[in-house]
């Protein structure tokens, strides 16, 4: 096995089959205003570790986050530059497409709002594209990324994010299934055109709303 691992092809194929078969779908919708647990989910106490088989080792000294594309002020932030932005602490529920949900996670880091103020996306930027150090990609409509609770997390439960959970820096977009919150993020690009990512081209929904059970593409 390579130093940082290799993509688990069998795992990827099994998840593609889930999409083909519509596994876990209940055919119901929930309401986030009244239903804390989305349809088909189960609450867990531990935070499961899910990845493609690769867990890149990115130290704080080597960490760089590039935010570019259709923005007025493209930037590349190192760890110190990230720490210079206003810090936030939020308690959030997270929901994985593999049917687990974990409540009341305390994440510390930087609000998406701070990134937006720094780079100033242009009006024609309607989508956000993410690239991670393990080669993973995903995409979001800009409106879904700009929600008030979305953030770039550096800590979980008061401790630095571990490598297995995406440290030193990961995206957290709690209103979507968690594959939309990439670990080890290294680039965020604002774009006029959408570009489906790793799971989206393998049968998974382009938006991933847990309460609408948007697990897979129609």
CATH of the domain at 30: 3.90.420.10
Report pLDDT for 1.
27
Which tens digit of pLDDT belongs to each residue from 95-152?
A: 999 999 999 999 999 999 999 999 999 999 999 999 999 999 999 999 999 999 999 9
**How far is Cα 15 from Cα 199, in angstroms, rounded to an integer?**
9
Q: Answer yes or no: is 175 within a domain.
A: yes
Domain that holds residue 59: 9-212
Report pLDDT for 91.
98
Q: Answer yes or no: is 192 within a domain.
A: yes
User: Does residue 94 register a pLDDT over 60?
Assistant: yes
94 secondary structure, DSSP code: E
Q: Answer yes or no: is 99 within a domain.
A: yes
User: Does residue 202 register a pLDDT over 50?
Assistant: yes
Q: Answer yes or no: is 38 within a domain.
A: yes
Q: Answer yes or no: is 4 within a domain.
A: no
Count of domains for the chain: 1
Q: What share of the chain is helix, strand, coil (3-state, %, to 5)?
A: 20, 30, 50
- What is the pTM for the complete model shown? 0.95
143: preceding bond cis by omega (within 30 degrees): no
Q: Answer yes or no: is 139 within a domain.
A: yes
Consecutive H or E run containing 11: helix 9-21
Q: Which two tokens stand for residue 217?
A: 């593409």
User: Does residue 3 register a pLDDT over 80?
Assistant: no
| Cβ atoms 93, 104 nearer than 8 A | yes
Taking residues 171-198, what's their average pLDDT?
A: 98
Q: Answer yes or no: is 217 within a domain.
A: no
Q: Answer yes or no: is 71 within a domain.
A: yes
Residues 6+ apart with CB under 8 A from 24: 18, 40, 97, 98, 99, 215
């Amino acid at each position: 096995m390579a130093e940082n691992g290799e993509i688990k092809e069998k795992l990827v194929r099994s998840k593609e089959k889930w999409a083909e078969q519509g596994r876990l779908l209940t055919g119901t919708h929930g309401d986030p205003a009244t239903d804390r647990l989305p349809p088909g989910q189960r609450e867990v106490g531990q935070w499961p570790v899910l990845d493609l088989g690769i867990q890149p080792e990115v130290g704080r000294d080597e960490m760089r986050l590039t935010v570019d594309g259709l923005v007025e002020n493209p930037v590349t932030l190192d760890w110190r530059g990230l720490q210079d932005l206003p810090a936030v602490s939020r308690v959030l529920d997270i929901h994985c497409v593999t049917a687990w949900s974990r409540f009341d996670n305390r994440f510390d880091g930087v609000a998406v709002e701070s990134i937006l103020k720094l780079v100033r996306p242009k009006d024609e930027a309607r989508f956000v594209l993410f690239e991670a150090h393990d080669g993973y990609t995903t995409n979001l409509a800009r409106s879904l990324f700009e929600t008030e609770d979305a953030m770039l997390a550096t800590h979980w439960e008061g401790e630095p994010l571990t490598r297995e959970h995406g440290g030193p820096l990961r995206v957290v977009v709690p209103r979507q299934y968690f594959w939309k919150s990439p670990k080890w993020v290294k680039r965020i690009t604002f774009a006029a055109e959408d570009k489906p990512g790793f799971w989206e081209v393998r049968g998974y929904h382009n938006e991933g709303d847990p309460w609408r059970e948007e697990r897979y593409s129609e």
